[in-house]
Structure 1
Amino acid sequence: MTDVAAVLGATGAPLVLIGSRRPLVLAGLGLIALAEASLVVSGPNAVSAARVGLGLVGLVGLVVFALLFARYPELVPLAILIAAPLRMPLDFGAAHRFYVGLPQGGETGRLLLLYGVVAAAAVALVLRLLLERDWSPPSLTREIALPLGALVSFAALSVLWSTADAAAQNLLQWFLLPFAVLVAVVARSPFPAWMPRAMAIAAVGLAMVFAGIGLVEEATQRLIFYTPSVQIGNAYSSFFRTTSLFRDPSLYGRHLVLAIAIVLTVAWYRKLGIALAALFVAFLFAGLFFSYSQSSLVALFAVAVFISVVAGDRVVRLVAAGTAVLVLAGGGAFVADKVAGASTQRVTSDRSRRIDLTAKVFRQHPLVGVGLGSQPKASQAVSKNGGPPTLFVSHTTPLTVAAELGVVGLALYLALLVGAAKALLRVFRIERAFGLALAAVFVALFVHSLFYSGFFEDPVTWLVLGVASSFLAAHGAPRSTAPT
């Protein structure tokens, strides 16, 4: 059934992303719905009275929100933004009396709230396509639609030759197909004038809550959610890493960096007072500091330099560039000094070993890779040391794409990055503050993904692409080759 779902998803994703006519979009949504249904049916405990009961309860909520989004489609992007980082602390399985219970050992649940919102938005889009004959659904901007549709389709097809069946099904069912629908529904939503302000308030407000919870964890030395590695690390290290409402400090730190990027942007363009912006940044950075996430700090530095170079004058750009050079030189010297007295593997906290193994997998399977979700298992196979697959995750998105999808997938990934950059540049030319905020968030996600996996698994990545397309459709932005 997974292979059938892969073919259905690979066919439906391009239709829903690239298609511009009603029948094509409806067909794409239908094929993805069939793919998801086949994955659910083929899963463990596929049919049970408890699952049917939960499904009926979820169906009621789905209908209510679908009707709401059909009446007010402009609420879709904002609702997805709010739901994107929130993982419901629920676990499902026959071990629980009523099939649902709280997860054990500090683990978080899935993005159930987000999936519900996306599903309701998809149903609302179907209703509008069928009933509003005088409405012309906007097409996704081609710079995003073409490479994204091709990448999702190829990644879905790679399940056919993937050697990690469970991981491939997990990525297909819970990330690839739902997030393709996410982009489609957001891109076809109206974009009112109040949207940039509302999205900025929602993103920063959520991050402030996350930072506050993280600071409480630091004060009490007790975590709410955590992975076993974080728990063990806190027990044996001299510092205490906080996670807030996330399972991992790096995921927590990533969301704080995104909010800081928004605050810095609106402060540069005088959309927010300097004093208030400084307070926001200080509070968010305090939460970020106690996560001790090195990848998040690198992403913060990169995005701060990016914003300064784009929004600042010539003097600011020179200072930012000089600071970047000094920091990179100092960091290089520090790493060289550490490596001189220890192994690279130890200095990089085992990242260098994972990178070497992933590169070896890519060299052995250069054309189409080992298939979706198979990189950790393939790296484990070429390693001389044992251990579970989780110890072989590359934590570097470009390398993971290369190993799992080969040169073909890597080319599509690079095409998507170029297309996204072009689309965000067009947004920036129309509305500088909003365009730079979107671009800064995308840059932060990309830089963070170079050191911690999750670029395509983070719904915010897909949301940025959908919002950029929605904005351009609402403003009727023509393609421009004028220099910036």
Structure 2
Amino acid sequence: MTAPALVPPARPGVVIYLAFFAALAGRFVLTRVGLEVPLLNDVRVPLYIGLMLCILLESHRIGPRAATGGYCLLPIMGLFGYQLLSAVWAPSHAVTGPMSADIVAVAFLVFVYYVLARWDSDHVTRVTLECCHIAAWVYFLAASTGRGHAPGGRWAALGGGPNVFVRVMILGVITSLYLYVRSGDKLRWLIGIPAFLFGAVASGSRGGMAALAITGVIALIAIRPRPRWERIARPAGLLVLLSLMVIVTAGPMIAGFVQSRFIEATVGQGYTSDRDVLFAWALRLFWQHPLLGTGINGFHAIADLGEGERYVHNLPLSVAAEGGFVGMFLLGLAWFTLWHAYLRAQRRRPCLSARTAAYCGIFIGATSLFSGDYFDARLMWILLVLAAIRTASPRAGPASAP
């Protein structure tokens, strides 16, 4: 008598796409498109409500699945909880409400992806990376029309600034390589790389390009690739040909911008967009309040550098200034736990999707050294959680590392 076949639990469906859209949309407000709707003006309100309802409605479909790495969520939530608690000792004139709402929003998104990863990590990670690739094409095509560009001709699209645009472009580059390897070296997946790199340069984001270099170095050290020239000759030739076509056709359009932004301003004049001033202020506040920091939004309240400089544009320094040694310890513990969970998962069952999500998360983390606030680091936490949590997959055989 044969044993009955095990029916695998249902996979998450539309909730993955809604979660990605909610994470990518960020703080988009309807006033950017000329609408004014009280309460729903911030798109996070309806999106998060809809996402919560989807999770609740599909919760009965989640079958019993063994998962590893779930412990990485605890220090992340501990960091967010501590940041919210720091409003207690923030300066009396600090406006803590909006930043507290941002941290709650990040915590909600991270928890949603934690639930989805424990449901079916392979499927959720794979679909999320595919969504990143699609988003890169949408952003690039929208920016190529000339709409949404930032002052000075810097490329941007769909209401986001150049620093958001460059993140989406480089995620498109990484996911292009992922889809190429996953497909068995089908060259069509590499077509977008020259376009995405062009968009990244056209954004004028020096921090984004530096983050790409940091991520590339980390990947080369971790993978230690052994080049096989017969395998890389065709994709390398295609990329060189496509890059030359992009440079010849679109290069003159931004040549002057690249000359002024990257060479004259950065190298010749040492222009840093006041990052040196922000970093110096953050270190000063850290040494003045070394244990607990100034409290949430204390940097803006004490430094008072104007509305244009409300945050440090560096995640570790921001945590140090507003959270002190305790905040830095929690941040370091969160990163270490994610790294430990990822290594354990890769040793047990190597997974190309998880490794790609890890590099995408590292890239977003590297950009957080040069731009953005706490909320802008949300994709870093999401992608690293997807890389760290693995569920047993009854459908697939043993996976092989790239």
Smaller-chain TM-score bracket = 0.7 to 0.9
Check whether the contact 2:311–2:373 (CA below 8 A) recurs between aligned residues: no
When normalised by structure 2's length, the TM-score is 0.74
Shift of 1:431: 3.1
> Identical aligned pairs, as a percentage?
21
Question: Which one of the candidate residues 156, 165, 169 is aligned to 1:256?
Answer: 169
RMSD between aligned residues: 3.6
Shift of 1:137: 8.2
Distance 2:370 2:155 in 1: 19
Distance 1:422 1:84 in 2: 25
Per-residue CA distance 1:420-461 (angstroms, 9 max, x = gap): 112222343323311220111111011101111235434322
Shift of 1:139: 7.5
For the pair 1:351 / 2:290, whether they are aligned, the reply is no
Aligned to 1:323: none
For the pair 1:119 / 2:52, whether they are aligned, the reply is yes
Shift of 1:274: 5.5
Size of the aligned set, in residue pairs, is: 347
Check whether the contact 2:143–2:156 (CA below 8 A) recurs between aligned residues: yes
For the pair 1:163 / 2:81, whether they are aligned, the reply is no
Change (3 A) 1:272 1:347: farther
Check whether the contact 1:262–1:440 (CA below 8 A) recurs between aligned residues: no
Aligned to 1:305: 217
When normalised by structure 1's length, the TM-score is 0.62
Q: Per the alignment, in what secondary structure is the counterpart of residue 244 of structure 1?
A: coil
For the pair 1:365 / 2:293, whether they are aligned, the reply is no
For the pair 1:390 / 2:336, whether they are aligned, the reply is no
Q: Per the alignment, in what secondary structure is the counterpart of residue 457 of structure 1?
A: helix
Distance 2:219 2:85 in 1: 38
Question: Which one of the candidate residues 76, 80, 85 is aligned to 2:15?
Answer: 76
Change (3 A) 1:149 1:475: farther
For the pair 1:405 / 2:318, whether they are aligned, the reply is no
Aligned to 2:249: none
Specify the code of the residue in structure 2 equivalent to 1:372: I
Distance 1:97 1:256 in 2: 30
Change (3 A) 1:280 1:97: closer
Aligned to 1:242: 155
Specify the code of the residue in structure 2 equivalent to 1:457: D
Per-residue CA distance 1:130-178 (angstroms, 9 max, x = gap): xx8x9658788354123112212211111112227774211222x2223
Aligned to 2:112: 185
For the pair 1:154 / 2:82, whether they are aligned, the reply is yes
Check whether the contact 1:168–1:372 (CA below 8 A) recurs between aligned residues: yes
Distance 2:265 2:155 in 1: 26
For the pair 1:86 / 2:10, whether they are aligned, the reply is no
Change (3 A) 1:456 1:223: closer
Aligned to 2:378: 459
Per-residue CA distance 1:335-394 (angstroms, 9 max, x = gap): 9x999986xxx53232111111111011111111111122122222xxxxxx52433532
Per-residue CA distance 1:242-273 (angstroms, 9 max, x = gap): 21114310111112112212222443x45353
Shift of 1:417: 0.9
Change (3 A) 1:411 1:86: same
Any unmatched runs of 5+ in structure 2?
1-9, 229-261, 395-402
Per-residue CA distance 1:201-230 (angstroms, 9 max, x = gap): 22101111101111111xxxx427xxxxx4
Distance 1:372 1:247 in 2: 24
1:8-407 pair list within 5 angstroms: 73=12, 75-86=14-25, 88-91=28-31, 99=38, 110-112=43-45, 114-121=47-54, 123-124=56-57, 128=60, 141-163=69-91, 167-173=95-101, 175-189=102-116, 190-191=119-120, 194-217=123-146, 222-223=147-148, 230-231=150-151, 234=152, 240-267=153-180, 269=181, 271=183, 273=185, 275-314=187-226, 347-380=271-304, 387-391=305-309, 393-407=311-325
Distance 2:76 2:207 in 1: 26
Distance 2:122 2:354 in 1: 14
Aligned to 1:441: 360
Check whether the contact 1:151–1:413 (CA below 8 A) recurs between aligned residues: yes
Q: Per the alignment, in what secondary structure is the counterpart of residue 25 of structure 2?
A: coil
Specify the code of the residue in structure 1 equivalent to 2:53: A
Distance 1:397 1:185 in 2: 22
Distance 1:285 1:187 in 2: 31
